Structure 1
Amino acid sequence: MGAGKVPEAAARGRPPAGPAPAPGTNTLVTAVPGVVCAGRRAVVTASATAVMGRSSPPSAGAPGAPRSLPSPTPGPICGFPAPTDTVTARQLWGQERAITGNRQTGWTFADAFVAEDEPLLWARDQAHAAGLRPVSPATGAVLRMLSATVDAKAVAEIGTGTGVSGIHLLSGMRPDGVLTTVDTEPECQQFAREAFRAAGFAANRARFIPGRALDVLPRLADGGYDLVFCDGDRTEGLEYLAESLRLLRPGGLVCFEGVLADGRTVESGPQPVEVVRLRELVREVRESPALIPSLVPVGDGLLCGVKR
């Protein structure tokens, strides 16, 4: 799906409500056969229909009686609690309805919520042609918002790519802000230069440094940055974090792209070194007294921390 296009299902909005139920009838509406949602607690019935009306629920064990979904299992990351639902389910009465939509359609709509212009689309095409994985449109929109929120004048980026994330960061920064971006591939940085120029950014708005991040970062000024965005080697996340804490001013942000690793970070069982290192990074950011952490579910996971 092209960036900026609203999925057809999302454009149609919510499903029609149908005829009003009789007074006093508890009505549940679902867009997914077999799944009914009451408040925040999902249940599965043997034969759920689009609209079910009944004055009282069937007894436990009877045909059509709801059964609770299994409780979530503890996460595979040592020291992390199992997810819990802190919202108590509410009994629905009369005209109240709980609607379960297609979650995937919702995520697709959210990912395309902020449209990308031609320079961004061009940079994204160049990334795909080079076999790179640029940040998702939703991740880019969050980066743009975060750089604007901290009124960023100086941003460091690990992993230039073809300029997709850089355009988003520059778009949220102050008009006189400078993006320092590091990458081991000078050829990709050339694509980023062209993309920045096409997006209307002056040449002095970006400083391109070719090289390995852990060789370049120690040369950057202590406390001189408002935001550090890390989209480099997944096995070097802890080292990036240590350098970022040195580079950031108090109140500055550090962000790591791709920490969910297509879901492998939260899966049980043996995982490759890259995933193990990502788990260590997630744990360190979560437990660090120097950071206020958050894991934003956009793209492949955006791990953020505000420096205290």
Structure 2
Amino acid sequence: MSFSEPPTGAASTPTSASAAPKPASWVFAEDFAPEPPAAAQARLAAAEVGVEPISRGAARLLGVLAKAINAKAVVEIGSGTGVSGLALFSGMAPDGILTSVDVEGEHQSRARQAFKSVGIADRRFRLIQGDALTVLPKLSDGAYDLVLVDADKLEYGEYVDQAVRLLRSGGLLVIDNALWHDLVADPRNEEDATIVIRETLEGVGENENLFSALLPVGDGLLVAVRS
């Protein structure tokens, strides 16, 4: 995967940019599926604590992906206030368990409230407060159906390394903020977070154990299947 200029001669080939959705279509797609009240409330809680939650469209896609693979064991790196957790639960198997890791206890308290508000039993989620790179190595190899990466951008590469280890064959890796506010596609932007995300995407694209696609949903979702 490369973010450099296109090779010589590529200009004669139609690019996907010509088929990119217009702003109005993008908004229509993001708002296509109605957001449940509990998710809307969790989104308000995110604004209160200064957390940027996953977009409505991306949240819906998370639920679809979880449902498509009948996910029973999911790891979420970055709990936020429960917006993404609720999205995952909407598609997970009825007995599925979510393991969610975050350094902020207050955020996890809000996430717990969001889960309880829709009747999700305590036994169905583990909220682990701590540094993800300390917690993740303690989780079992190949035991998870889906891993969502949505925490410290500067650690995305390390999160992906752990996710590949944690996922079973056929499991899904999902990376939020993969377009990072349109900065990843701008070769002139060399901010630390942008560079790390670019390098992470390139690493996923080159990983022989991952089959991936970058989706322009929300702030960008990279989805990869573990071989």
Say yes or no: does 1:253 pair with 2:172.
Answer: yes
Match of 2:3 in 1: 77
2:77 matched residue in structure 1: 158
Q: Which has the higher contact order (CA 8 A, sep 6+)?
A: 2
Q: Distance in 2 between matches of 1:307 and 1:273?
A: 27
Which residues of 2 match residues 128-147 of structure 1 at below 5 A?
A: 128-147=47-66
2:94 and 2:113 map into 1 onto residues whose CA distance is: 19
Between the aligned partners of 1:79 and 1:234, the Cα distance in structure 2 is: 25
Residues 110-129 of structure 1 mapped to structure 2, 5 A cutoff: 110-129=29-48
Partner residue in 2 for 1:288: 207
TM-score (norm 1): 0.69
Residue identity opposite 1:238 in structure 2 = G
2:74–2:146: 8 Å Cα contact kept in structure 1? yes
The residue type paired with residue 171 of structure 2 is G
> Which whole-Å CA distance do the structure 2 matches of 1:290 and 1:76 have between them?
19
Change (3 A) 1:80 1:293: farther
> Partner of 1:262: helix, strand, or coil?
coil
Q: Secondary structure at the match of 2:119?
A: coil
Please report the RMSD computed on the Cα atoms of aligned residues, expressed in angstroms. Answer: 2.3
CA distance in 1, matches of 2:138, 2:111: 22
Once residues 153 and 108 of structure 1 are traced to their aligned partners in structure 2, the CA distance between those partners, rounded to angstroms, is 31
Distance 1:250 1:80, change over 3 A: farther
Using the alignment, how far apart are the partners of 1:176 and 1:216 within structure 2? Answer: 23
Whole-angstrom CA distance in 1 between matches of 2:6 and 2:144:
31
Where does 1:45-60 land on structure 2 (aligned, <5 Å)?
A: none
- Provide the C-alpha distance between the structure 1 equivalents of 2:152 and 2:172, rounded to a whole number of angstroms: 19
Q: Give the distance between the partners of 1:143 and 1:263, measured in 2 at CA.
A: 21
Percent of aligned positions that are identical? 42
1:31-50 map, 5 Å = none
Residue by residue over 1:18-69, the C-alpha shift from the partner in whole angstroms, topping out at 9 and shown as x without a partner, is xxxxxxxxxxxxxxxxxxxxxxxxxxxxxxxxxxxxxxxxxxxxxxxxxxxx
Work out whether residues 72 and 95 of structure 2, in 8 Å CA contact, stay in contact via their aligned partners in 1.
yes
What secondary structure is seen at the aligned counterpart in 2 of 1:135?
Answer: coil
Q: How many residues align?
A: 223
Q: Which structure 1 residue ranges, 4+ long, deviate > 6 Å from structure 2? A: 79-83
- Structure 1 unaligned runs (5+)? 1-74, 90-99
Q: Per the alignment, do residues 174 and 78 of structure 1 end up closer, same or farther by CA in structure 2, a change over 3 Å counting?
A: same
The SS at the match of 1:85 is coil
Checking the alignment, whether the CA contact within 8 Å between 2:4 and 2:187 is kept in structure 1 is no
CA distance in 2, matches of 1:270, 1:204: 44
**How far apart are 1:85 and its partner, in Å?**
2.2
Q: Give the corresponding residue for 2:102.
A: 183
CA-CA distance at 1:261 after TM superposition: 1.1
5+ residue gaps, structure 2:
none
Distance 1:243 1:120 in 2: 28
Q: Are the equivalent residues in 2 in contact too, given 1:76–1:268 (CA < 8 A)?
A: no
What is the CA deviation profile of residues 117-151 of structure 1, one whole-angstrom value per residue up to 9, with x for unaligned ones?
21111100000111110000000011000011111
User: 1:80 offset after TM fit, Å?
Assistant: 7.5
* CA distance in 1 between partners of 2:33 and 2:102 (Å): 27
**Which residue of structure 1 lines up, in the alignment, with residue 157 of structure 2?**
238
- Which residue pairs with 2:132 in the alignment? 213
Give the match's secondary structure for 1:261: coil
Partner Cα separation in structure 2 for residue 298 and residue 104 of structure 1 = 12
Offset at residue 238 of structure 1 (A):
1.1
Q: C-alpha distance in 1, partners of 2:199/2:2?
A: 12
Letter in 2 for 1:144: G
Shift of residue 104 of structure 1? 1.0
Identify the structure with the greater helix proportion: 2
